[in-house]
Structure 1
Amino acid sequence: MNLDPTLKTLLTFAHPVLMWVLLGLTLYAMYLGIQIRRTRTADKDAKKELIQAKYNLRHHQISSILLAFMVLGTIGGMGVTYLNNGKLFVGPHLLVGLGMTGVIAISASLTPFLQKGNDIARYSHIFLNIVLTALFGWQAVTGMQIVQKILTAA
């Protein structure tokens, strides 16, 4: 497929930029989740103040955005790689990215159970998101290595 060089460049770097933004949002969502946990365990006066900050609503909103754009970013990254190279490079970066997409979907699917106070779901959600964040950090490093290869080849 022949793409305009400007569009091709834009598409090539859209995935890494989006993923760095999502990494930042992931850290923010984690902060909000910690604040929700603090709210749940706070004494009566502190709890009132923490509830007013609406950490639970913000956590759900940011997490919904993360889920949507993680899925779109994964598909987009694979699509751009295929458009630019006529094939996908099956390696750790691709496989971990696909795994991360599954992890965030599973984590989000626990929400109804979390809302009912299910502790197993809560600890599973926390564990999955810690794993997701660690993998995201690794992906950021390997993604920048891929960007460097693209820039060197250009």
Structure 2
Amino acid sequence: MSMNIPEQVKVWSQFGHPILMWALFALTIYALYLGIQWRRIRFVDKDIKKELVKKDFRNRHYKMGSVVLSLMVLGNMGGMAITYINNGRLFVGPHLLIGLVMTALIAVSASLSPLMQKGNELARYTHITLNMAIVGLFGWQAISGMEIVQKILERMS
């Protein structure tokens, strides 16, 4: 299948995925912070709790988690599409496979929200565990992704 995409667009589109993923990594860390603050509310005394509740960490965490979920799915699909457009194939290796695993994990983590809202502690701890795994994998992806960017830059010069 041949696509008539201008060469300049093909070349520079390769940097869209890494830029989006670095922004997404930052948003993920922010969502983690919001989640930690929301979790903290459950264990503090009443005076501090009143102040923390006013900051609406629960809704902010939920909304940021929704943004992270959607951007991760779009970023994953976009990265694969750009790779295919530029190379005519996907490179099946650790970076791609871990990205797919992260996308599956975040979908499962998000699907636990209704159970957590009903007070299910197993769902809550599973959500936390999955999200910590995602953050760890994201850190590794950032490093392996920059190695890929370096290879692209070497090819360009």
- Pair 1:24-2:31 in alignment: no
**Structure 1 unaligned runs (5+)?**
none
Q: Conserved in 1, the CA contact under 8 Å of 2:11 and 2:86?
A: no
Query: Displacement of 1:40 after TM fit?
Result: 1.3
- Pair 1:122-2:124 in alignment: yes
Structure 2 length as normaliser, TM-score? 0.96
- Pair 1:57-2:59 in alignment: yes
Give the aligned residue type for 2:16: A
Taking the aligned partners of 2:154 and 2:11, their CA distance within structure 1 comes to: 14
Tell me the alpha carbon deviations over residues 125-145 of structure 1, each in whole angstroms, 9 at most, x when there is no partner: 000000000000000000000
Tell me the alpha carbon deviations over residues 86-129 of structure 1, each in whole angstroms, 9 at most, x when there is no partner: 00000000000000000000000000011111110010000000
Q: What residue number does 1:81 align with?
A: 83
| Greater mean deviation of Cα atoms: 31-40 or 6-15 | 6-15
Query: Displacement of 1:8 after TM fit?
Result: 1.6
Taking the aligned partners of 1:61 and 1:8, their CA distance within structure 2 comes to: 33
Query: Out of 141, 147, 150, which is 1:148 matched to?
Result: 150
Give the aligned residue type for 2:46: K
Taking the aligned partners of 2:7 and 2:25, their CA distance within structure 1 comes to: 28
Superposed CA RMSD: 0.8
Structure 1 length as normaliser, TM-score? 0.98
Query: Displacement of 1:29 after TM fit?
Result: 0.5
Taking the aligned partners of 2:86 and 2:28, their CA distance within structure 1 comes to: 28
| Aligned-partner SS, 1:117 | coil
Query: Displacement of 1:149 after TM fit?
Result: 0.2
Give the aligned residue type for 2:119: G
Taking the aligned partners of 1:30 and 1:106, their CA distance within structure 2 comes to: 16
Report matched runs for 1:100-119 at 5 Å. Answer: 100-119=102-121
| Aligned-partner SS, 2:107 | helix
Q: Which runs of 4+ in 1 moved over 6 A?
A: none
| Aligned-partner SS, 2:5 | coil
Report matched runs for 1:2-13 at 5 Å. Answer: 2-13=4-15
Query: Out of 36, 39, 44, which is 2:38 matched to?
Result: 36
- Pair 1:46-2:48 in alignment: yes
Identical residues among aligned pairs (%): 58
How many residue pairs were aligned?
A: 154
